[in-house]
């Protein structure tokens, strides 16, 4: 682990430009944008920094090898060439995830089984004991991608998905993934001083991620564990030193207000609990009421970032139509000069906002085609 490695940071489709910008900000080497993420070269400390600091990445994968395989036997033999004891203990757990396309090996389940067999057989030969499979909480995640018979074999340095920051005490109902929330805030030109408002705040994900961004807080500092910490030879002291350095780079939020509103007053306690863990209790201002009646103050030039319900997990589309219409009218009338970033997964609902001056940034939230409607509300526009 003393040499440079080729890594791939994954993200939701559509977020790649933001992730690319983040990697450049970390001054990582040979960054290359791809669909679904970005490649980069990294020393061990770079891998630590990527996991701790990236806000929009879902996982950081480390490439172990590339080879051609048309049969299960070829796949098995190449996987066995890796010393897997570096990454997992004999009594540990693992999971294999495969993606295959346009290849002789065209069944992902078969590929996953052969890779698993190669790993556990190696352990049985060396130690007489084998790792077991754990789909939910594995010590090691192996990612394998096969395209036109060309195999890329990778290990997941992150462990759990990086959206699991560690600051969330209260889950709330159908919360937005932290990585997407960060992307929504980062799509704006918020200056970290103007008020940031979420009129549909739920458990406060957008507010918390905005606070982390404004204070330069590395989101991974709240995590208890990353995958690479279980690897043989991991430099514990060096990793703790890096975290100490990142903590010293945190800046105070000052007088900046993070303003949240939700129709259900009971959900605001979730925001308070999460804000306390994140360290923003003094900056959070919470209100309970209808977002369509929110008191946007003229002249604030605030930044509105929000994720209104769009009928997938919360709300019925027919019932939400008038909500979107009224919310759009409220913003146009009371929020002139405000910057907005509205996350939506339903184009019919988004059209009810009647804010054609906003640009659409398409992305995916799982299997759902979504968009961020982003821009500044004109001073005199009514349509």
Beta bridge partners of 363: 370
Closest CA to 226 of 155, 135, 158, 166: 158
Mean pLDDT throughout 170-191? 87
Question: Which domains are assigned to the chain?
Answer: 5-156 (3.30.2130.30), 178-216+251-376 (3.40.50.150)
Helical H runs in the chain? 16-25, 44-53, 72-80, 108-127, 178-186, 205-214, 236-248, 268-278, 317-334, 347-351
Angstrom distance (rounded) from CA 174 to CA 139? 27
Q: Tell whether the model's pLDDT for residue 313 goes beyond 60.
A: no
Q: What is the pLDDT of residue 161?
A: 95
For residues 344 and 352, is the Cβ–Cβ distance under 8 A? no
Q: Tell whether the model's pLDDT for residue 175 goes beyond 80.
A: no
For residues 67 and 151, is the Cβ–Cβ distance under 8 A? yes
User: Strand pairing of 5-10 and 93-101?
Assistant: unpaired
Mean pLDDT throughout 75-94? 96
Of all residues in the chain, what percent carry a pLDDT higher than 90?
Answer: 86
Q: Tell whether the model's pLDDT for residue 360 goes beyond 70.
A: yes
Q: How confident is the model at residue 174 (pLDDT cuts 50, 70, 90)?
A: low
Q: Tell whether the model's pLDDT for residue 1 goes beyond 70.
A: no
pLDDT digits (tens, 9 = 90+) for 6-26: 999 999 999 999 999 999 999
Angstrom CA distances, 328 to 124, 220, 302, 351, stand at 63, 35, 16, 10
Of all residues in the chain, what percent carry a pLDDT higher than 70?
Answer: 96
Q: Which two tokens stand for residue 307?
A: 């994720």
Residue positions counted in the chain: 383
Mean pLDDT throughout 79-87? 97
Q: Tell me the average pLDDT of the chain.
A: 93
For residues 180 and 219, is the Cβ–Cβ distance under 8 A? no
For residues 354 and 327, is the Cβ–Cβ distance under 8 A? no
For residues 372 and 187, is the Cβ–Cβ distance under 8 A? yes
For residues 61 and 10, is the Cβ–Cβ distance under 8 A? yes
Q: Which two tokens stand for residue 105?
A: 């090996």
Mean pLDDT throughout 3-7? 92
Q: What is the pLDDT of residue 242?
A: 98
Helix 205-214 to helix 178-186 angle (10° resolution) is 60
Angstrom distance (rounded) from CA 283 to CA 155? 39
Helical H runs in 128-194? 178-186
Mean pLDDT throughout 351-358? 93
Q: What is the pLDDT of residue 255?
A: 92
């Amino acid at each position: 682990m003393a040499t440079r490695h080729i890594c791939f940071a994954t993200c939701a489709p559509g977020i790649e430009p933001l992730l690319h910008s983040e990697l450049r900000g970390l001054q990582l080497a040979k960054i290359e944008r791809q669909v679904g993420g970005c490649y980069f070269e990294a020393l061990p400390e770079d891998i630590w920094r990527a996991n701790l600091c990236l806000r929009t990445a879902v996982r950081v994968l480390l490439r172990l090898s590339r080879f051609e395989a048309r049969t299960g036997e070829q796949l098995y033999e190449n996987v066995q060439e890796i010393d897997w004891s570096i990454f997992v203990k004999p009594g540990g757990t693992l999971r294999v995830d495969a993606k295959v396309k346009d290849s002789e090996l065209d069944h992902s389940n078969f590929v996953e089984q052969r890779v698993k067999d190669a790993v556990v057989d190696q352990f049985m030969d060396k130690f007489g004991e084998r790792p077991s499979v754990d789909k939910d909480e594995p010590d090691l995640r192996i990612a394998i991608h096969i395209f036109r018979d060309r195999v890329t074999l990778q290990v997941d340095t992150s462990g759990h998905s990086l959206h699991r920051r560690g600051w969330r005490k209260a889950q709330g109902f159908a919360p937005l993934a932290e990585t997407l929330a960060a992307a929504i805030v980062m799509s704006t030109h918020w200056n970290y001083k103007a008020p940031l408002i979420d009129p549909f705040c739920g458990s406060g994900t957008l507010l918390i991620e905005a606070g982390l961004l404004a204070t330069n807080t590395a989101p991974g500092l709240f995590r208890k564990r990353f995958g690479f910490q279980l690897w043989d030879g991991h430099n514990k002291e060096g990793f703790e030193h890096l975290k100490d350095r990142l903590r010293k780079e945190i800046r105070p939020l000052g007088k900046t207000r993070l303003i949240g509103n939700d129709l259900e007053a009971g959900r605001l306690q979730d925001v308070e609990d999460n804000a306390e863990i994140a360290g923003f209790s003094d900056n959070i201002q919470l209100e309970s009421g209808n977002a369509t009646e929110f008191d946007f103050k003229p002249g604030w030039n605030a930044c509105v970032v929000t994720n209104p319900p769009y009928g997938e997990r919360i709300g019925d589309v027919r019932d939400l139509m008038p909500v979107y219409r009224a919310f759009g009218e409220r913003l146009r009338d009371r929020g002139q000069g405000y910057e907005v970033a509205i996350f939506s997964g339903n184009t019919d609902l988004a059209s009810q906002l009647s804010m054609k001056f906003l640009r659409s940034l398409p992305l995916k939230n799982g299997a759902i085609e979504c968009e961020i409607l982003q821009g500044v509300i004109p001073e005199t526009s009514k349509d």
